[in-house]
Structure formats: structure tokens, C-alpha cells
Structure 1
Amino acid sequence: MFRAAVDIQPACLGLYCGRTVLSVNGSVETYGDCGVCPRGQRTDDHKICRECLGSPDRYDWLYLGFMAMLPLVLHWFFIEWYSGKKRFVYPFSSSSALLQHLTALLECSAAAVVTLLLSDPVGSLHIRSCRVKKLSDWYTMLYNPSPDYITTVHCTHEAVYPLYTIVFIYYAFCLVLMMLLRPLLVKKIACGLGRSDRFKSIYAALYFFPILTVLQAVGGGLLYYAFPYIILVLSLVTLAVYLSASEVEFFKDLLVRKKRLVVLFSHWLLHAYGIISISKLDKLEQDLPLLALVPAPALFYLMTAKYTEPSRILSEGGNGH
């Protein structure tokens, strides 16, 4: 009966244009004109706007987790960067820096919880969503049809509801909570820092939040499909840079300072997160053994670092001549 009702309607052009359901009388539905679907709906196979009643799958949650981690990692980086020594060193250089790290964690965690509670259904940590089918679902503004090549029918809507806009809401709450909590904390505890450096980690956030917002607005769909590989590549590169900058060559070098172990385990967690995101753990018996590869890059570096030390290479080269 629904298909018959759809067939008598004029053609609805455009990949994401649809007809809203105006009323339902028994098994007969009455549809509106072809146009944009309301928020929280997307078109079905018959060009009818249907409410999103699904839940995010495991990969969707992993993507949201990645987007939630970005500001937290940047917070930690800039807090440590401006905590005294201008070099690439991770937590925790001082007690004041540690408190700032914990505050940043509190801000991002609270922002995530508030964002989920305010999402539909309101008051629940669960959210309803539309299923992501293809890359174009993230860029519906590029698929507005022009039937007569003059008039454009605007059908832009969030076909991946709420994966696109929920990230913006989360960033907004992160920024608000940071502005409410961090300045007071820094003013009280960061007495060891210079006046010019005391608030620089906050100033840095005022720069990277707009950058993250633009990144999500322009490349949200690309990030959705590429974030597992981005995590693996960046975690490998940053781990290699840290180990080389800290002149870590042997396992005992890691045990001397607890900070280095914290950095190592943090990167291992990122490696594991990337592997889980790629495999999605659809087949546990095949995917779980892949987690055994997590320590491999660090172990390879530690076993080969002594053979690639620049001073040793130069000395052996000089002896060869």
C-alpha cells in the first residue's frame, strides 16, 4: 500500500531529497512536497523521510571516541609544552602540570557526558542515529539537484545524524568548561610558571578548537573512514620522535623515569585503539591476536637503536677511512 502511494507522486529528484510524512490514516500515508528532510530523519529507498531509530554501531562509537580524544590529547600536549621546558615531553613535569592534566580530563569527560545526555533521547547516554551508508552521506550539500539547471532544490540535511553535529556540540561544551574551570585553577596553582607562560595552554586551546571545528566541518566524512589509520601512523611517528628525543636506547632507560613508562603505555593504548578500530572486532578469534602486535614498534626501536646512533655511525665511518 505504501508503494502505491509513492508511485502516484511526481518524481523526487536528488540523492537526498525526500517527502515528509504529513499524516498516517491506518495503512495510508500522506506525503508533502519533495524537499529537505527534518533533522533526525533521512530518506529511505522510496524517497520518503523516515525517522532515525537505529543506534550507533561499534565503529561509530570508536569514531566518536577518536573525535573526543583529539582535544584532550592536544590539551595535554600544550599543558606539558608550556609547563616549563619547551620540548616534546609528556606528563608529568610538575604537580601543577599534573593538576592541569587532570582538569583537562575532567573537562572533556564532563563535556562528553553532557553532550550524550542532551542528545536524543534526552536524559540517556544512548543516542539514536541514522546508519552511514557511503561517503556522500556526510556531504549532502554537494548533491542538491537543479531540475531546470536554474533553480536549485536545497535538500541538505544530516543524513548521518547525529555523528556530524554531535562533535560540534561536544567541542562547544569542552570550550565552555575550559573557560570556566581552567583559568581559576591555573591562577592558583601555576605559580611556578612565568606570567607569560601561565595561560599559554589556554590560549593554545582557543586556536586548536576552531581548527578542529573546521576539520570536522570539511573532513568529517574522510575522518570517519580514515581515523583508524591516522591513529596508527601518528602514534608510531610520535613514539619514535619521543624515544629519539629522550635518547631512550635500552629497556633500563625506560625504567629510570616513570614518565617514560607513562608515555610508552599511552602510545600502546593508541596502537590498540587503532587496531580495534580497523578490525572492529567482528571476529574475536581472528582479531584479538592482532593486539599482540601493539608492543612491536617500541620493541623494534629499542632493539635497533644502538645500531643507528648517529655518533656511532660517524665514528665507524671515520675509522673506515
Structure 2
Amino acid sequence: MPTADVVAAVEAGQLTAARTRSGERAGLDVATRTGRAAGLVQRQGLDPASTARADWAGFGTVIPVLAASPGAGASVVTTVLADALQLAGHRSLVVDAADPARSGLASAARSDGPVLDGPHPSVRIRMSCRANALVARVESDLPVITPGMVPPPRFFKPTSGSVQATVVDLGHDPWRVAAHPLAGAGAWVRAGTPMPRPVLVCRASRPSLLHAEQVLARLEAFTAAGTVTSPVQLVVVGATRWPAGVAGCAGRRVSALLEDAVFLPHDPDVAVSGITPEVTPPRLREALVPVLQRWELLPPPATPAGPVERMVRAVKGALS
């Protein structure tokens, strides 16, 4: 298994050993069950060593959202994108691949929907609704969900009908996911047909840009091999522009994304409450609408009428 899953399984065992009277014996049991679950789940997807391309049919346009570092705002960006799509009448799917205990989308739906069978008895998927969007979250009776325990994408596919877009909050530590991105949560960035459009989320600070560069550097080998789709869009959360001296410290990989970077302004309500069942504020959706228009997921902005068009409309109005 990838090292990230081994480490997470051991950590789950250590946590259990510290919490229970049976100590080490209980810890070994939990570590073993967690490791086995991760291994069995991964074997039901594409081989992490395979160069095969993913078949994204039935998911529409896949938009994986990857944070440069924990707390960058990936869950907010995921929800804003999904809300902009569903308010435009598109049927969308939101995939929450995070460990439930650390999910930023835990309160995205007003009520929990049914639990579907997953790839392992200890790994399930709960389908809920956020207005007209489906929200699929990973659940488990184990202490943690390792990156590799996230079910392969096919388990998230809606059982009835198809969706026009799937927005995925990868959730897990991006440093770990990027080290071996073709299994578990990272499977959503695998190159395929149609090609996913990964989004990288950061803050308007030098440390966050440094983290973003490190994540892109880790993905570079997989991108060069053609197995992973590198982020095509940078979203900067909590700002309307770069503070003085910040953008200039971007590394060469992040620099390629700076020109088209989109700024998601600070919203005090979202900053305090996080993602709730309420629709995200209009000013946040408006910031990301141009991205969806470039990707032809939303209609282009209306072109202002010229003087001749205005005259024709006036004549038609008078005649009617």
C-alpha cells in the first residue's frame, strides 16, 4: 500500500491503544482492520501503477478541488462551484472524500440521505441532497479514513440518471495525496475521458504559495507520465488581490497559473459558520462564474446591445 495508508492505519491503532483498557491488543486489531480495508478498497479501482486512463462517462465534467494546505478553503470552493452550477439548472454531484471527522462539508445538506453499499463492509457512501445537487460522503466505522480508503470513483456514480458536472473535495492532506495520487482520493485527478479540470486552492500569502508549489512539484512526475491531470485553475480564497510582494515569490509551477488566478473574496458569515445548508453568497458565486463559463459549463455573459440592436428592439416594442 502507499505509505500514506500505512501511516494512517498505524496512527489509528496508536489512538485506539491510548483510549482503551486493552491497549496494544486493541490497537493492533484496529490498525490491521484499517490497513486491510484500505488495501481491499484500492484493489477495486484502477491499479495505482497502471497508466490506463479513467472513463469519466456519467460524471459529466469532473472538477477535483485540491487544497495547497489544510484550511486553504477547498470545501468552500467546492460548494461555491456546485451552487453556481445547480442554480443555473445543472444536475451536479458533490463528492466529499474527506475523513468525516475533518470534513468541511459535514453540514452541507439539511438532512442525511440513505447509505449505499461501498467497496468494503467498513466503508460506505451516504447520499444526501443540497437543493438540486447530490452530496456523496464517505463513512466508516473505523477510526480514520485513509486516503486509499476513499472508494474508487465508480462507487459514487448516481444510480439513476447522469450528472453534468462532478465537483470533488479531495479532503485529505494534499502533501500525502500528491505523493501517490492514483489511489483513493487521488484517483479523481487521473487523466481520462473527458479530461478532469483540477482546481488548486490557496491563500494570498507567501507560505500558502510555497505549499502550492510543493504540491505541484510532487504531482509533476505523474503529470509528465500522462497519468495525472495537473491543476488548470488557481483559486485564491479570502482576498480580492495579491498583497504587495506575495505573487513575486511564486515558484515556476505556480507562476504558470497566476495570470488566470481567480480571487474568492472574504465573507464573514462563511468564515464564521463554514459551509451550511444555506446557498453560498452571490458575491462568492459571481467570482467563480467566469471559470465555469470558460469551461463552457455555463453560458457566456450576455453581450451588451449595440445602438442598432437597441433601435430594432425599440421599433419592435412600438409595433407590438
TM bracket, shorter-chain basis: under 0.3
Structure with bigger RCO (C-alpha 8 Å, 6+ apart): 2
Would you tell me which structure has more helix in proportion to its own residues? 1
Would you tell me which structure has more strand in proportion to its own residues? 2
